[in-house]
Structure 1
Amino acid sequence: MAAQDDAAHFHADGSEGQTTSRFGFLDADENLPQYHIEAQASLVDRPLRALKYGEAFAVLDSYGDIGWVPGPEGLYFQDTRYLSRLALTIEDERPMMLSSAIQDDNGALSVDLTTPDIRLDAGDETAIPRELIAIERTKFLFKGACYDRIGLRNYDTRRRRLRIGVTFDADYRDLFEVRGSDRANRGKRTVERRSATEVQFRYAGLDEMVRTTSLHFGPKPHTLEPGKAEFVVELEPGANTSLFIRVVCQSHRAYTSAPGPERAGESAAAALSRAAGSLAEQPDRSLGEGRVFARAYRDNRRDQRQITAGITTIISSNDQFNEGLCRATADLYMLATRTQEGIYPFAGIPWYSTVFGRDGIITAMMALWIDPNFGKGVLRFLAATQAKEVDPAADAQPGKVLHETRRGEMAMLGEVPFRHYYGTIDGTPLFVMLAAQYHEVTGDLDTIRAIWPQLKLALEWIDTYGDRDGDGFVEYARETEQGLANQGWKDSHDSIFHADGAMAKGPIALCEVQGYVYAAKRGAARLASMLGEDDLSVRLSAAANTLRENFDKAFWCEEIGTYALALDGAKRQCAVRSSNTGHALFTDIALPKRAAHVAAQLLSNDGFNGWGIRTIAKGEARYNPMSYHNGSIWPHDNAICALGLARYGLKEEAALVFEGMFDTSLYYDQKRLPELFCGFMRRRQRGPVSYPVACSPQAWAAAAPFAFLAACLGLEIDQARNRIRFRNPILPRFLDAVELFNLKLGDSRADIRLHRHGNDVTVSVTRRVGDVQIAMLK
């Protein structure tokens, strides 16, 4: 609603408007958007709560329920909605809300409710006055199951008898169906009451997979039938009791008897399914549901402590920023999923809770100084799933890095191409780029040596399949009509266009991708030298230098005073002002003489709206502040721009972007940065305008605050020189001091305090373990 109001207001006064007829509409010659997320209601019009563990995630309303209104709510497992309704009532009435919050570490949802005024029969007086029965609900996920405890306490002075109802259903909709895709045919669903305490839904899919949802209740309900359980609870004054619901998600091949993951043609699927924490464990049947809940809750907490042990932590002088950092850390590790190759940050909830190559790489880059295990896990997983052959249906060629993998029925049947999909132009150079950064921070040559064949194959892909016409630039054109039309990070159907708004015709060479290739070749040259391949190192260095020169000649556009968004198939510039140019700074492909001009465009009134840098500058033909990629603002994109600005010594500019994004976080629930938000101009006494179907949490948005901080501090971790350096550090206006605890370099550890004195920053070491050198460079 806010976005609609703002749109009307800005158009009325003329301060935000579209200069052409393209304000969210398609031209007659354009196709409808691919894989569009259909929405009749915004995700911001009611608070939703997200939980995740392994391959399972839940989207709940603030009561902890599912399905009171249509939308994305549900319990999902392997890209399928295994539970589409779970609704709690007392005497057929919904409880009243008192409070609802995800715990600080994202481990569980805690909800406090109470009874409303209840009339047992129409026309009767109130039989149970409100606020006499307290209801405390705790929900969490662990190893393929959702655990739900409903605690009740009677604060009345008399005995109370209550009917507690739970309605439930499982629709087994593929995630792409939930997003809006229609299907002509579906499998067969059945439901049965298996015992006095268990109901099971079963879906025999067209992909020959059987998916089951088992609901276990404890203690034994008064009545239990498919779709509904009812408890009768009697509470003496001051007494309390608890009810438990355990929802177990499992899948197996139709021709096998035991639950388990798919085994045929596994690759990425295998790395996910057989990893720790993917599948539900069977509890000891002698335990009651209460003890099963308590044991799972204990193990869940223990697991969370284990995965975050030893990471770098941050405390600042600003309590609100500290809250945001705690939330960002919790989000990163909630989205972190164990695979056979290490931890991998799934992209985001609800639409992208799976492996994405690009998202995982950029998240790992921004979090390297906090926890390099993200980098190691991402590198190993993408090396293990690298394409081995040409497969047009998957947009795959040898050496190309995975874009996305899905486990749902539609992906397994090929109704969508994302079972193992490689339609990304930037994932492969980013893979090599991450490897070089990971080694620079960790010195872990064993990991680099283990994936060196895959890195060399990726470099070969860049120069052959990536460079389609041999001009030295990497271009994309999809190999299948089912694939993504645009294959950079801005992959909307209308995101790459010319100054007049006409869509660019491929093959398309994106501005930022050339920067990724440049940084990849420079980084790979260093790795090759360390591995004794000196000739390769020399060739890669020379190729990188040539690319930098040619990039400036082909992409610099005097007309707009910055680099072009892209080159189309005829090598014509897409002379459009965009945030993509900030990535050219990030990768160092921009010539030093261009940096100030690029920064000026990014931070102009058209580029920077007061909250952040827009993806497309105001005034461009397809600018739309409510679009996904053509005028919106993405925290991760802004973080990359800030890192790029800092690389060229533009620290004040980087701090300005950081300040805008910090201010943005204050308007969002739990200080959590969303996937994106709208690009309307900042106005006094008004917060940023939310995007209606943004993911929250989103991995690279969660990692963004760490990148902003590293940019402003000028943090450089150089394992080869055994040195941690702060290059011309600056602190934004909202921070007076920052303390870094357990900052790692090899076997060394350090606690470091940075304090602002006017425009200067001092650095002091409060603890040091090992011989690491720590210095500040002006």
Structure 2
Amino acid sequence: MKDLVSILDGNTFLVSDRRGDIEPSYDFPTGLFSFDTRFLSKWVLTLDGERLHALSVDDVESYRTKFFLAPGEPTHYLDAKASVIRSRAIVGSFEEELTVLNHLGAEVECTLRIEIGADFADLFEIKNSRQKRGRTTVTVAENELRLTYRREAFHREMVVSSTAPAQVDDTGMTFRIRIARNDSWSTRLHVSSVVFGARGEDIRATLPYGGSRSADAIRAEQQELIDRAPKLGCDCEPLAGAYRRSLNDLAALRYESIALGVRLIAAGLPWFMTLFGRDSIITSLQVLPFLPELVPPTILMLAGLQGHRVDDFRDEEPGKILHELRYGETAGFEEQPHSPYYGSADSTPLFIILLDEYERWTGDTALVRKLEPQVRAALQWIDTYGDLLGTGYLWYQTRNPETGLQNQCWKDSWDAISYADGQLPGFPRATCELQGYAYDAKVRAARLARTFWNDPEFADELERQAADLKRRFDRDFWIADREYYALALDADGRQVDALTSNIGHLLWSGIVDESRAGKVVEHLLGPRLFSGWGVRTLAADEGRYNPIGYHVGTVWPFDNSIIAWGLWRYGFREEAGLLCDTMLAASRYFDGRLPEAFAGYARDLTDYPVEYPTACSPQAWSTGTPLLLLRVMLGLEPQGEHLIIDPAVPPGMGRVELLDIPGRWGMVDALGRSRDPEDQPDDG
């Protein structure tokens, strides 16, 4: 991703190389995308037949980029007779201004060409190298190129126009230009991507932010959101930089839902620019203390799309919360089940957890009362469809073996759940963190039932169920001779004994018996799991360990933020601070933007965190990580109408001050300061 440049706004984003060029690729999604369709698959600029090379790239703002280019090989830069500036932006549509500068003392004639192509590939077709089944037609007009794709009722269109005269053909535009000495020439290219609905309407035009907007309007909207967030003052530059970058990325990752026409936070660029149950919920938990107004649209969207039937193709069941929602061709023709897809076992209990946490922060009792039926349905799902084997645990097994996800926990790659020796268990599987989420969901739902639904008997029953689950969990998941909780139970009730970061989520949920917590923490911060930059997803001596394996050895920032929150919950403040400190130290190497994941190499081996090759960046729950770490360091916890502030700032971090923290209490300020060794009193 470091060699790629991206811009995004709303439902549209573009990924190119550092020259600004886009070339057809099924290895990684470069192109112009909107609503899960790639509109531009080729966008290559040449000057007199030569490709250009980047001198510099200005990509400070999320929605626009400027490339400074010169023709020829890098060794020829000093002899360049001309240079090119590409200024581009996503402003509803995609616009690019091309400027050619003549550096000679005489008039020059040159030929500028932009090669243009649109494959209209669905994101799943890019991932799986599938070929298109519809038909693309090309129409050439004066200074305009139109490409149209149809497959039955599925209709997408891209129109490219130029403000300067151009020779237009089926594959691009050519400009024969004459530039006076020390002068320049320019044109503005406009690319509109049209998403047609079932009745032939332009879907984007129906959305509040869907049309073309000025760069000033985008900047103002993003800045307005950033200005609403609490103000951070601190002595730690990595923390300050990561906080600024997180707020900027959160503002950029918002997109508009077709279903409700509201702004939601997309899960991550480039693969996940849509609503994800699990990712969206965890991101909402991370940002809740800072921008609580971002949370209700996600809760309402998930509640509105809650499962109501048994649908094997979509893994849908009554009461279940969705996993992923897509708008592309493969979802529309049911070649993929993502319209929406329900293949996650954790989004349902996490939905309950988020609603309760949201009320605790905001006091929005109306939403809790409104969604009582959805919460009851989610609890019913946990106890029925979720308990596949009738053992009182939460299990998963896809109903759709052809296109459904095998693993339906957050580590959802095919090899993520394994025994210590590397073998894979059969299905169904009951991973440990699912039981923690279910426990926490029942405890929280009991509070909602007793406080808001006037149903104390139901609250008592939920608390009995939670206590029983905690007792059985400790009995069945604890590996006595290794002193940690198993990753999962297999279908025969045997422990899947790999040591993983999942045990940190157990601390966050509260399902860990107090007598076990110390051992769990020892494992989390011991050399097998802790790399020095964070907790690995899988311990370094396990059979499937791979430091650059997606879920089998990498370090995930969001995972570590949840673990830090769990350490804080059980009183391990120093250990939580260590994770906060190492995550923020890692963020320095990514310009403040923590990626989806980075390699699990030991810190003393690489001296810097190595990015996972195809990590999403920005990714929502990585973007939310610095915010949750800040909450942990300042010890922020709502209690009734008050916000408890109990800071434990890591050594060396100095002053951390957060002003205007919003909530049911109004606005509150929090201040913490690290206690460094030189600050300790002299006992002598």
Global fold match (TM > 0.5):
yes
Distance 1:760 1:173, change over 3 A: farther
Which of 216, 226, 231 is equivalent to 2:161? 216
Residues 1:51 and 2:22 aligned together: no
Q: Is residue 449 from structure 1 mapped to residue 369 from structure 2 by the alignment?
A: yes
Distance, in Å, in 1 between the alignment partners of 2:272 and 2:588 is: 25
1:175 lines up with 2:123 in the alignment: yes
Alignment CA distance shift 1:258-1:406 (3 Å)? closer
Alignment match, 1:548: 470
* Range with greater deviation from structure 2 (105-114 or 47-56): 105-114
The one-letter code sitting in structure 2 at the alignment partner of 1:80 is T
With over 3 angstroms needed to count, the CA separation of the structure-2 counterparts of 1:761 and 1:200, relative to structure 1, is: farther
The partner residue of 2:645 within 726, 737, 755 is 726
In structure 2, do the counterparts of structure 1 residues 491 and 189 end up closer, same or farther at CA, with 3 Å as the change threshold?
same
Cα distance in 2 between the residues matched to 1:502 and 1:473: 22
Tell me which moved more, 72-81 or 48-57. Answer: 48-57
Shift of 1:724: 2.0
8 A Cα contact 1:82 1:213, kept in partner? yes
Partner of 2:16: 60
The reply on whether 1:136 has 2:85 as its aligned counterpart is yes
Question: Does the 8 Å CA contact 2:155/2:196 hold for their aligned counterparts?
Answer: yes
Partner SS for 2:51: coil
Conserved? CA contact 2:321–2:378, under 8 Å: yes
CA distance in structure 2 between the partners assigned to 1:387 and 1:567 by the alignment: 26
Residue correspondence of structure 1 range 659-678 to structure 2 within 5 A: 659-668=581-590, 670-678=591-599
Which residue of 54, 64, 67 corresponds with 1:97?
Answer: 54
Give the AA of the match of 2:98. I
TM-superposition CA deviations, 1:623-672 (whole Å, max 9, x none): 2222111111111111111111111111121122222222222222x332
Aligned to 1:186: 133
- Deviation of 1:441 after TM superposition, in Å, equals 0.6
Q: 1:131 to 1:739 in 2, by over 3 A?
A: farther
Q: Deviations over 1:488-516 (max 9, x none)?
A: 00111122122333211222111001111
Q: 1:699 aligns with which of 594, 617, 620?
A: 620
Question: Distance between the aligned counterparts of 1:679 and 1:100, measured in 2?
Answer: 30
Alignment match of 1:524 (pick from 438, 445, 453): 445
The one of 69, 78, 85 equivalent to 1:113 is 69
Q: Distance in 2 between matches of 1:760 and 1:378?
A: 46
Q: Secondary structure at the match of 1:429?
A: helix
Return the alpha-carbon distance in structure 1 between the equivalents of residues 24 and 334 of structure 2. Answer: 32
Q: Deviation string for 1:587-621 (max 9, x for gaps)?
A: 11111111110011111111111111111111112
- Tell which deviates more after alignment, 236-245 or 562-571: 236-245
- 1:289-688 superposed matches below 5 A: 296-339=214-257, 340=260, 342-481=262-401, 482-531=403-452, 532-668=454-590, 670-683=591-604, 686-688=607-609
1:260 maps to a residue whose letter is I
SS in 2 for 1:393: coil
For residues 167-200 of structure 1, give each alpha carbon's deviation from its aligned partner in whole angstroms, at most 9, with x where no partner exists: 11001111112113434x611111111x312111
Q: Write the letter of the residue equivalent to 1:567.
A: L
Residue identity in the other structure for 1:575: D
1:230 aligned residue (167, 170, 174):
174
More off after superposition, 705-714 vs 90-99? 90-99
CA distance in 1, matches of 2:217, 2:13: 18
- The 3 A distance-change label for structure 1 pair 422 and 646 is same
Rounded to whole Å, the distance in 1 between the matches of 2:112 and 2:669 is: 53
- Structure 1 residue matching 2:611: 3-state secondary structure: coil
User: Equivalents in 1 of 2:129, 2:107: separation in Å?
Assistant: 51
> Normalized against structure 1, the TM-score is what?
0.82
Partner of 1:147: 95
Output the CA distance in 2 between the equivalents of 1:314 and 1:761: 23
- Using the TM superposition, give the Cα deviation of residue 152 of structure 1 relative to its aligned residue in structure 2, in angstroms: 4.0
Look up the match of 1:774. Answer: none
2:465 is paired with a residue whose SS is helix
Q: Is the 8 A contact 2:12 2:34 kept in 1?
A: yes
Q: Offset of 1:154 from its aligned partner?
A: 4.2
Equivalent AA in structure 1 for residue 91 of structure 2: F
87-96 or 67-76: which moved more? 67-76
Q: Does the 8 Å contact 2:54/2:70 carry over to 1?
A: yes
Local SS of the residue matching 1:430: helix
Paired position in structure 2 for 1:22? none
Quick check: 1:560–1:575 contact (8 Å CA) kept in 2?
A: no
Q: State the Cα distance separating 1:578 from its structure 2 match.
A: 0.7
Q: Distance in 2 between matches of 1:703 and 1:431?
A: 17
Aligned CA distance change for structure 1 residues 656 and 189 (closer, same or farther; 3 Å): same
Matches of 1:173 and 1:610 in 2, distance apart?
Answer: 41
- Which is worse superposed, 78-87 or 48-57? 48-57
Between 1:49-58 and 1:73-82, the stretch displaced more is: 49-58
CA contact (8 A) 1:202 1:213 kept: yes
Partner of 1:199: 145
Q: From the superposition, tell whether residues 419 and 659 of structure 1 become closer, same or farther in structure 2 (CA, over 3 Å).
A: same
Are residue 717 (structure 1) and residue 626 (structure 2) matched? no
Q: In 1, distance between residues paired with 2:202 and 2:41? A: 21
Trace 1:79-94 onto structure 2 (pairs within 5 A).
79-94=36-51
How many aligned positions are there? Answer: 675
Once the two structures are superposed, residues 398-429 of structure 1 have per-residue CA deviations (whole angstroms, 9 ceiling, x without a partner) of 11001011111112222222221101000000
Gaps of 5+ in 2: none
CA contact (8 A) 2:238 2:585 kept: no
Q: Secondary structure at the match of 1:249?
A: strand
Q: 699-708 or 325-334, which moves further after superposition?
A: 325-334
Q: Percent identity?
A: 34
Partner in structure 2 of residue 292 of structure 1: none
- The aligned amino acid for 1:452 is E
CA distance in structure 1 between the aligned counterparts of 2:263 and 2:116, rounded to whole angstroms: 33
Distance 1:314 1:338, change over 3 A: farther
- Is the Cα–Cα contact under 8 Å of residues 403 and 423 in structure 1 kept in the other structure? yes
CA offsets per residue over residues 694-738 of structure 1, 9 Å max, x none? 1111111111111122112211133x22x22222x2223452122
Which residue number in structure 2 is paired with residue 770 of structure 1?
none
CA deviations over 1:7-46 (Å, ceiling 9, x no partner): xxxxxxxxxxxxxxxxxxxxxxxxxxxxxxxxxxxx45xx
SS of the equivalent of 2:413 reads coil
The AA in structure 2 aligned to 1:348 is: G
The 10-residue stretch of structure 1 (357-366 or 168-177) with the greater mean CA deviation from structure 2: 168-177
SS at match of 2:371: helix
Structure 1's 297 and 132: CA in aligned 2 closer, same or farther, altered over 3 A? farther
Verify the 8 A CA contact 1:147 1:244 in the aligned structure 2.
yes
Aligned to 2:110: 162
Q: Distance in 1 between matches of 2:433 and 2:78?
A: 63
**Which SS does the other structure have where 2:190 is aligned?**
strand
Decide whether the 8 Å contact of 1:342 with 1:376 is kept in 2. Answer: no
Alpha-carbon RMSD: 2.5
**3-state DSSP of counterpart to 2:66:** strand
Query: C-alpha separation between the residues in 1 aligned to 2:576 and 2:206?
Result: 42
Q: Which runs of no fewer than 5 residues in structure 1 stay unpaired? A: 1-42, 119-125, 262-272, 282-294, 763-778
1:428-453 C-alpha deviation (Å, 9 max, x unpaired): 00000000101111111122222221
Q: Is the 8 A contact 2:634 2:670 kept in 1?
A: no
- Indicate whether 1:259 and 2:202 are aligned: yes
